[in-house]
Structure 1
């Protein structure tokens, strides 16, 4: 690179605000001339760096999970808010929680700029409206019991900033998930989670590494919050909702793995427990009728391990 080219690169960097997500990766300046195998290898190599970037934000992620779990125990909600790809990722993560962990759909919510239609069709103008972000939070009656997670690769999307600032004014816990350091979103939130993945293989295409990083963090926030709320027993999903034959079979297998019983016994106990995997497991392991197992779980706030400890100490 000549001195003139270097000066031009610095000037462009300043013009776009120095955002890592908008930089050009010079290693791939001849990307369009490479073979398909080389392209696949290059993209996979870039993606392999995402986990390390997420690891650098582990303390902040853990802090957010503890805050979310504390509020959800008291009846609060987890609300994701984003525009474009980040908004879609939030909607996706939220939609998978009810069947996986048996939570009411209104407890984990995904909000995307432009409304549900923007999930399939881009609504680019909506992301520039900070007032709309605040309005969407106001319509959902955000309170101090809720957690609002703003998601923005750049960390400066007006819609997301408007939503987070409004939520913070309501004393909700706010989390800012961005892929640039020192972001406006990080500064606006109580807990900044800034996962810096660097320049994309296609410059500015933040659905790539940035999107992967966001998906990884959202997986952690929702899944590990559910662990903190007693929705798992070891590695097993014990609050899954049985809505089809596949999930009925999974529920029976879960009971078998947790207790060592036969499939027939698991099926019978599941029926006695009115489809509650948790109740069936406690009933089998503690030797209790389903009604007593259900009561033991209620006293243990839904934690199987605590319920068994209480019963074994009687």
Structure 2
């Protein structure tokens, strides 16, 4: 590899086992403070991705995340939050992990080394050229992700990559590389730490900004969220109270009648 694997460089801290608990936590926190600044530098590339996604989503396109280990799980986590938060169908944002669903809870040995498997997984969803594939890998060299991105590009599908090693293979392959240099991990090579945190922040940015761009947010409210429990019914009711300047009971009745904050607000204004 002709790039510097920052994620494997030695920690800025040593003799961790000799530290008392508070010092360990303080030093971890010192490292964590660097993450948001590193993410800030990627905003221009994230902007390109969100705008490209919005254009394709409005034509019926989908977002696919592919990854292994922590990166794969973070993609699945982000995808799984889209239906309850924004009321979108599950099949619009899809997370795929090396080793399949069983790898979400337990590591599947050698799954990330299966270069051809990601494309096979994507084809099960009838992926097409209005979709977008985002490969996530802290190292930037995960074969599962590399293979998936390469095949997606060959088939005319827009690709992006999220990595913590600038110049990594997936960054060179992707149409839109998002390279987050958070520096060495507190625990050398443990990319579930700063690298994982940075990936989660970027995924939050991508999906939330996308949902705003395609009209799933009104003002600053989740007006399309699913009313799946009492907490969310209460939240939705309060949104309607505020939006229509009405009493709680009236707002709740509107919500239960129409099934969504957006529909209740529209009905209340007509």
Which residue of structure 2 aligns with residue 28 of structure 1? 13
**CA offset digits 1:111-143 (Å, max 9, x no partner):** 000000000110140101111122112222211
Encode CA deviations 1:219-277: one digit per residue, 9 max, x unaligned.
Answer: 111111000011111111000111222221111111112222211221232234x2121
Instruction: Work out whether 1:115 is the aligned partner of 2:100.
Output: yes
Please list, as runs of the form range in 1=range in 2, the aligned pairs for 1:40-55 lying within 5 A after superposition.
40-55=25-40
Q: Which residue of 2 aligns with 1:56?
A: 41
Q: Which has the larger radius of gyration?
A: 1
**CA distance in structure 2 between the partners assigned to 1:170 and 1:142 by the alignment:** 10
The match for 1:275 among 248, 259, 269 is 259
Query: In structure 2, how many angstroms separate the alpha carbons of the residues matched to 1:224 and 1:47?
Result: 24
The count of aligned residue pairs is: 270
Post-superposition CA distance 1:171-204 (Å, at most 9, x none): 2221100001111101111100000111101111
Gaps (5+ residues) in structure 1? 1-13, 289-314
**TM-score between both structures, scaled by the size of structure 1:** 0.83
Task: Tell me, in whole angstroms, the C-alpha distance in 2 between the residues paired with 1:130 and 1:260.
Answer: 56
Quick check: which one's helix share is greater? 1
Q: Distance in 2 between matches of 1:226 and 1:214?
A: 18
Give 1:17 deviation, angstroms: 5.6
The structure whose RCO (Cα within 8 Å, separation 6+) is larger is 2
Residue number in structure 2 paired with 1:213: 198
TM (norm. structure 2) is 0.96
More displaced stretch, 132-141 vs 151-160: 132-141
Q: Which runs of 4+ in 1 moved over 6 A?
A: none
Structure 2: stretches of 5+ with no match in the other structure: none
Q: Which residue of 2 aligns with 1:308?
A: none
Query: What is the Cα deviation at residue 280 of structure 1?
Result: 1.3
Change (3 A) 1:37 1:271: closer
Residue matched to 2:145: 160
